[in-house]
Amino acid sequence: MATPTLDKVEDAKPAEAPSPYIMVTFRIRRFNPEVSAEASWEDFPVEIDPKERVLDALHKIKWDVDGTLTFRRSCAHGICGSDAMRINGRNRLACKTLIKDINPEKPITVEPIKGLTVLKDLVVDMEPFFQAYRDVMPFLITKDTNEPTRERLQTAEDRERFDDTTKCILCAACTSSCPVFWNDGQYFGPAAIVNAHRFIFDSRDEAGEQRLEILNDKDGVWRCRTTFNCTDACPRGIEVTKAIQEVKRALITRRY
Amino acid sequence: MSTTEKTADSGIGPVEGAGALSYSVDNPAPVIDPPRKRTKKTPKSTRGNFEMAAWLFMRLSGIVLVVLVIGHLLIQLVLDGGVSKIGFAFVAGRWASPFWQTWDLLMLWLAMLHGANGLRTVINDYAERPNTRLWLKGLLYTATVFTVLLGTLVIFTFDPNIR
């Protein structure tokens, strides 16, 4: 009462900008075969700007909290395709997912991608994935003119034909979102078919017939159930299911 | 920032029961492989165009079945008194005509093969062990062949004067 002006002084101060940092809980699926055969969830509360990415939060945890957290990342800018993981039940790239976009009020779950052997924490064995990729021969094949004596020219329209499937970064988000692949790893998977599509519809390539024959296999395109999980999962926005359907159509029109 | 539920990273695993499993750097736990992993040896098996034929058959038979089944249901259940008119005489009257014999025969074959092919893909997708697949498919093919043959036999040898 003696100093009635004191309260007013505080009010008169310019309003401070609110801190952008919020507490977000990251619920991460941990697995370390050197400690336990069981995988388990572990919660990490992190103070972070919601405009940052999930990858930044994982870095914060690994660098400041628990150095044993293991995950892959290389370029950290959505091009190398190393950090595909299952975030809040959907396959995404950790480096392209902003925390504000995936409801930071609830714990954010981070798991390894499904359908591949988990080696440690978020790291999976990608070998079966790349084996399927190699099996579709993802390189230019020409029959007569193998000598690289001149440019292989192509019209803009011919280039446009397979433009969508050239965007693939082999992150395995599509293949590991496919329910057929989860149950049967023999299926080529969307990513391998996308990369076959990229050459089958390339006017410069001459081994389209061979690739179609490979994908006509019992574990090829006919196992696709068009659930569109792959199209939803693709961080590059490739219309994966459409590409698979185009390969099916090419197979049918080739015969009949 | 603190972690919760932190497990001891001293290399000592959870002690469970008498087995007392403990894993270390030299003795890591086995990793869990997904079912039927693709390996270098995988791209061998190929069955010609069977899978494509099966896929095409599903689409084409589906289109034909829409007409056949909806027509069948309309005649049997909706038009001309509905289900109450169906009796021995009604069936005998319809099967006197080759048109309805063909209709029913086509519907039987297409529906059975369509359904069996669908179940075959379900078994291929979900049965993990080779033995499970073998037995389930064996059961499926037996049931399909039996039903198709029995139905065909009945359609062709139907006797309206049976006592």
Q: Into which CATH architecture does domain A127-255 fall? A: Orthogonal Bundle (1.10)
Distance from the Cα of B117 to chain A's closest Cα (Å) equals 13
The verdict on residue B138 lying in a domain is yes
Query: Cβ contact (<8 Å) for A216 and B51?
Result: yes
Looking at the partner chain, which of A36, A186, A220 has a beta carbon nearest the beta carbon of B38? A186
Q: What is the pLDDT of residues A47-89, one digit of tens each?
A: 999 999 999 999 999 999 999 999 999 999 999 999 999 999 9
Q: CB under 8 Å to B42, separation ≥6 — which residues?
A: A131, A135, A186, A219
Does residue B117 belong to any structural domain of this protein?
yes
A89-93, A234-238, B34-38: least confident range: B34-38
- Cα–Cα dist A189/A224, whole Å: 8
Q: Between helices A208-215 and A240-255, what is the axis angle to 10°?
A: 100
Give a yes or no: residue B6 inside a domain.
no
- Parent domain of B100: 50-157
Tell me the C-alpha distance between A21 and A42, whole Å.
Answer: 22
**pLDDT per residue over B80-131, tens digit each?**
777 888 888 888 888 888 999 999 999 999 999 999 999 999 998 888 888 9
Domain assignment present for B43: no
B30 and A182: CB-CB below 8 Å?
no
Task: Indicate the Cα dihedral angle A164, A166, A171, A174, nearest 10°.
Answer: 40
CB A187 within 8 A of CB A219: yes
Cα distance from N-terminal residue to C-terminal residue, chain B? 87
pLDDT higher than threshold 60 for residue B153: yes
User: A162 CA to chain B: closest CA distance, Å?
Assistant: 23
- Domain residue ranges of chain A, discontinuous segments joined by +: 22-124, 127-255
Of B30, B32, B36, the CB nearest to A185: B36
Look at residue B37 in the predicted model and tell me its pLDDT.
Answer: 80
Number of structural domains (chain B) is 1
Give first-to-last CA distance, chain A, whole Å. Answer: 96
Q: Examine residue B163 and state whether it is found in any structural domain, yes or no.
A: no
CATH for A22-124 is: 3.10.20.30
In a domain, B39, yes or no: no
Task: Judge whether A113 and A120 are in contact, CB under 8 Å.
Answer: no
Across the interface, whether the CB atoms of A37 and B6 are under 8 A apart is answered: no
Q: Where are the beta strands (DSSP E) in B23-93?
A: none
Contact state of B33 with A117 under an 8 Å Cβ cutoff: yes
**Which pTM was predicted?**
0.83
CATH for B149? 1.20.1300.10
Nearest to B51 among A36, A213, A222 (CB): A222
ipTM attached to this prediction: 0.77
Q: Which of B13, B49, B126 sits opposite A36 (nearest CB)?
A: B13
Residue A189 is which amino acid? Answer: G
Residue B153 lies in a domain: yes
Residue B5 inside a domain? The answer is no
**Is pLDDT of A195 > 90?**
yes
